[in-house]
Amino acid sequence: MRSVVASSHSEACLWAAQLVGRAVRDKPACALGLAAGETPRLMYAELVRMHRESGLSFAQATAFALDEYVGVAPADPASFSFFLYRNLLGQVDFAPHNIHLIDALALDVNAECARYERRIAACGGIDLLILGLGQNGHIGFNEPGTSFVQGVHRVGLTQATIAANARHFADPSQVPRFAISLGIRNILEAKKILLLVSGKNKSEALRLALCGSVDPRVPASVLQTHPDVTLVADHEAASLL
Ligand code: F6R
């Protein structure tokens, strides 16, 4: 695993955006897997800036959302689809047919998981997957105790994740209890992974993920087994490494 420790969250996001920009320039028709959440917001802003000011083009690239809350409509500002549109997809030049989001309103969740899995396969897999890290060690919405062999699947969110994400909902009781997420198998199948982590509140999870044993109780620890991971962390997140 390569790692970059930046002096601040914003510097980490600039590093991460450089890495993503390089991947897109090297392979314009690449498939990107995209995390939502607070951590990558500034990275996406920098990619938008690079698109507007430095000619970085996503016209041939494909986007896959990493996960989505079950039952939250894409027009809902709390949905990850909304987040990705507002922060990246709607701000750059992805072709609409190359944007793949999870249908969180699908009546048949298992069929939706299978459809999304087929989409990823039809695209030849994900070239660069951008991940954040949950305080409980989750990646995507693969919560502690997750199976390492699962593909796209429905996840029951833990109380810790529900509490951590309540800030995105007007009423904490509205936080969904379920999500659809790429599974650990899909994550390990990505050709490259960028793990972006910021803040003191992630330092213990990052320590367990990178310095502990590979253990389903810390889902991110599975990244130790992937051949091409780049960690970009700010110094607070990296303080226990
Ligand atoms: C988001 C996702 C989650 C987040 C993680 C960190 O698509 O899959 O794993 O990356 O919960 O969230 P933030 O960045 O909000 O701290």
Domains of the chain: 9-223 (3.40.50.1360)
**Is 69:168 a contact under the CB 8 Å cutoff?**
no
Cα of 88 vs centre of ligand 1, distance in Å, is: 16
Ligand 1 pocket by Cβ (under 6 Å)? 35-39, 66-67, 80, 132-134, 138-141
**Is 84:36 a contact under the CB 8 Å cutoff?**
yes
Q: In angstroms, rounded to a whole number, what is the distance separating the alpha carbons of residues 208 and 213? A: 8
Cα 172 → chain centroid: 23
Q: In angstroms, rounded to a whole number, what is the distance separating the alpha carbons of residues 150 and 87? A: 29
Tokens of 146: 């997750």
For ligand 1, atom 3, name the residue with the nearest CA.
140
Q: In angstroms, rounded to a whole number, what is the distance separating the alpha carbons of residues 141 and 121? A: 20
pLDDT at 167 over 90: no
**Is 113:185 a contact under the CB 8 Å cutoff?**
no
Cα of 38 vs centre of ligand 1, distance in Å, is: 7
Active site residue 228: no
pLDDT at 219 over 90: yes
pLDDT for position 48:
98
Report residue 173's pLDDT band, with 50, 70 and 90 as the boundaries.
confident
Cα of 23 vs centre of ligand 1, distance in Å, is: 22
98, 136, 142, 186: the catalytic one is: 136
What pTM does this model have? 0.96
Q: In angstroms, rounded to a whole number, what is the distance separating the alpha carbons of residues 229 and 231? A: 6
